[in-house]
Amino acid sequence: MAGVGMPTVKLPIAGGCQCGALRYEIAAPPLMIYACHCSNCQKQSGGAFVLSATVMEPSFRFTDGAPAKIEWTSDAGNQRYGLFCGDCGSRIANGQTPSIGVLSVRAGTFDDTSWLRPAGHIWIKSAQPWIEFGADDILCDVQPTEYGPFIKRFNDKVLFIEG
């Protein structure tokens, strides 16, 4: 349900890398946005966690530049790949092989980050000790098996409209 002061976000969502060589658009609303505290996200970002937007793969496209690619095995044992800028190194999105139909886009690369808020936190078993979670945050020790609560909470707190 829409709350008071609920952010309204215009589609498509636009974003890009630090140097601007890579630009992208997301045409459809993300399914959810969550914070991942896994060790790979900490290494890739150099930060405490990554804000990840789960988007339908066909809704995402690069509008400028061509990404470089790296592959690895995730903490959950999946074959993952990352798309990043070969010039500045910004990670833009992660996907899985074989495809699971969605990409994890680094929400910190959105042009407008003012409306971002994670629906929940995953891999909190490797979260840095100073992080304090909210009393009503959805928390998962490792990779969730069920994302329904994340999707519902995310959609309760943001409204997407066609730009």
Give the footprint of Zn ion on this chain (CB under 5 A): 17, 19, 21, 36, 38, 41, 85, 87-88
Cβ neighbour number for residue 13 with a 10 Å cutoff: 25
Nearest distance, CB of residue 134 and Zn ion, angstroms: 20
Nearest distance, CB of residue 39 and Zn ion, angstroms: 8
Nearer to Zn ion, 26 or 38 (CB): 38
Nearer to Zn ion, 2 or 19 (CB): 19
Distance CA 87, CA 100 (A): 28
Q: Which helix (H) or strand (E) holds 30?
A: none
Q: Residue 96 in 3-state DSSP?
A: strand
Nearest distance, CB of residue 50 and Zn ion, angstroms: 6
Nearest distance, CB of residue 151 and Zn ion, angstroms: 18
Residues 103/95, Cβ–Cβ less than 8 Å: yes
Nearer to Zn ion, 21 or 116 (CB): 21
CA neighbours within 13 Å on the CB side: how many for 127?
A: 19
Distance CA 26, CA 13 (A): 5
Nearer to Zn ion, 13 or 124 (CB): 124
